[in-house]
Amino acid sequence: MPRPTRTGTTTMSAIVWHKYVLLLLVLPLAAFLTYLFLTPQLPQSSSSRKSVIVQVTGHDFQWSFRYPGADGKLGTPDDVRLNRLLILPPNVDVTLLLTSEDYIYLFSLPPYGLREIAVPDLTHKLLCHTTTVKEFDLMVDPLCGFRFYHDEVMGHVSIAPLKDFNVWFGPSNSSNRRS
């Protein structure tokens, strides 16, 4: 009578197999927890910190910026509008509401590590915290690949001293700040 043979796994192969499966489960979990707890987060906005909200709109290969007026709300007749010039005070939390009127544009603020696409009928929200007084250009980054069809600069950013920012956007200067 034939003797049955054992075709199952041995104890050693089961241990090795379980170690590999456990390793495949533990490594992604460890990577996720490392990302979750060791990645620097944006500072949480508190009521004591100053903040600025600006609507950024791309149109005709330039950026336009809209600030809340004296009532503090966007979309009202007293809003302040600037073309090609984004003025921000230092040491504030900034919320940029990014959209486009005609084409798809790329908006990028390299000093703050921000880069986002502006699409008609969509609004993207960008958050950053300004630090020191500085100025830089908002360069064209055409999606079509033909840079020579467009100007090199779509706008300019000025992180102005707080007293200059308040002179420009203060409530006492609401009549002559449109540009």
DSSP readout, 62-124? Answer: EEEEEE--TTS-TTSTT-EEEESEEEE-SS-EEEEEEEESSS-EEEEEGGGTEEEEE-BT--E
Closest to 60 in 3D by CA, of 98, 97, 105, 96 = 105
CA distances from residue 67 to 33, 109, 148, 162, 179 in whole angstroms, order as listed: 39, 18, 31, 16, 12
More confident residue, 126 or 15: 126
Cα 93 to chain centroid distance, Å, stands at 12
- Percentage of the chain with pLDDT > 90? 12
Mean pLDDT of the chain: 79
Q: Are 56 and 98 in contact (CB under 8 A)?
A: yes
pLDDT digit string, tens, across residues 3-37: 777 666 677 777 777 788 878 888 888 888 887 77
pLDDT at residue 99 tops 80: yes
The residues near 153 (Cβ < 8 Å, ≥ 6 apart) are 84, 137, 138, 139, 140
How much is the pLDDT for 18?
A: 78
pLDDT digit string, tens, across residues 29-65: 888 888 777 765 555 545 456 788 999 998 888 889 9
Query: Quick one: tokens of 122?
Result: 């969509």
How much is the pLDDT for 11?
A: 77
Query: Quick one: tokens of 149?
Result: 């069809």
| Predicted confidence band of residue 157 (pLDDT cuts 50, 70, 90) | confident
DSSP state of 6: P
| Predicted confidence band of residue 169 (pLDDT cuts 50, 70, 90) | confident
How much is the pLDDT for 98?
A: 92
How much is the pLDDT for 123?
A: 93
> What pTM, to 2 d.p., does this model score?
0.65
Domain 51-173 CATH class label: mainly beta
Mean pLDDT of 84-96: 90
Mean pLDDT of 138-151: 63
